[in-house]
């Protein structure tokens, strides 16, 4: 069975054809060329090294696991920090090389929902919130609620992704045509 990284689920939600082009036709995106992606990875590694022993007591962190890889039949990925909170629940924390602009992008939320499912499966504990740290805004910490509906949507997405791959199914494109403007597959996609 195929398991997916959160980034793959996010791409699917952006446009289902990402899954088709990348995993059925095996045409890579070559995202390594994007400077922002590379810089984000560098900042990510720096933050993990700097915050190794720091526990965020203000949000009730009792223990944490850094750069923690987890895998399940549906999902896999490396969470920046898995937090054990004082109420016995767990929470994912993810660093973002971004500026806080008074709103959380849907892609960031989806990533946390994926991590929540992984944490629940691997640690056998409930996850009802996650955290984002905006490194370009003085490390602003933002709490994101995570409910069962959001986790169920991720599971539905992974099932639909598997269907595309296993059935060699060409899905409908996104209905948001502005997304096509910067798509790495726009030159080969039949709209």
Q: Spell out the residues 6+ positions from residue 18 whose beta carbon is closer than 8 angstroms to its own.
A: 8, 11, 12, 185
Distance between CA 155 and CA 92 in Å, rounded? 18
Q: Spell out the residues 6+ positions from residue 161 whose beta carbon is closer than 8 angstroms to its own.
A: 2, 4, 8, 9, 12, 19, 23
Distance between CA 137 and CA 100 in Å, rounded? 6
Q: Spell out the residues 6+ positions from residue 81 whose beta carbon is closer than 8 angstroms to its own.
A: 51, 64, 65, 66, 68, 92, 93, 94
36-41's contacts with Cβ under 8 Å and 24+ in sequence apart are 36/97, 39/97, 40/96, 40/97
pTM score of the predicted model:
0.88
Cβ count near 166 (within 10 Å)? 11
Residue 131 has, within 13 A of its CA and on its CB side, a CA count of 21
Distance between CA 104 and CA 129 in Å, rounded? 14
pLDDT of residue 25: 94
pLDDT of residue 42: 66
Q: Which of 156, 155, 188 is CA-nearest to residue 173?
A: 188
> In which residue ranges of the chain is pLDDT below 50?
none
Report how far apart, in Å, the C-alpha atoms of 44 and of each of 10, 37, 59, 69 are.
19, 10, 21, 15
pLDDT of residue 172: 94
pLDDT of residue 72: 94
């Amino acid at each position: 069975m195929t398991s997916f990284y959160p980034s793959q689920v996010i791409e699917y939600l952006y446009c289902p054809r990402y899954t088709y082009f990348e995993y059925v036709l095996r045409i890579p995106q070559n995202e390594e060329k994007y400077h922002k992606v590379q810089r984000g990875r560098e900042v990510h590694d720096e933050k993990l090294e700097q915050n190794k022993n720091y526990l965020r007591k203000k949000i009730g962190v009792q223990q944490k696991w850094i750069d923690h890889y987890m895998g399940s039949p549906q999902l896999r990925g490396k969470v920046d920090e898995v937090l054990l909170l004082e109420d016995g629940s767990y929470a994912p924390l993810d660093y973002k090389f971004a500026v806080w602009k008074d709103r959380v992008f849907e892609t960031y939320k989806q990533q946390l929902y994926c991590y929540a499912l992984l944490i629940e499966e691997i640690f056998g504990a409930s996850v009802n919130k996650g955290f984002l740290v905006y490194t370009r805004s003085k490390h602003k910490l933002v709490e994101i609620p995570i409910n069962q509906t959001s986790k169920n949507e991720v599971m539905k997405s992974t099932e639909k992704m598997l269907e595309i791959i296993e059935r060699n199914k060409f899905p409908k494109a996104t209905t948001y045509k502005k997304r096509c403007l910067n798509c790495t597959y726009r030159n080969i996609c039949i709209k």
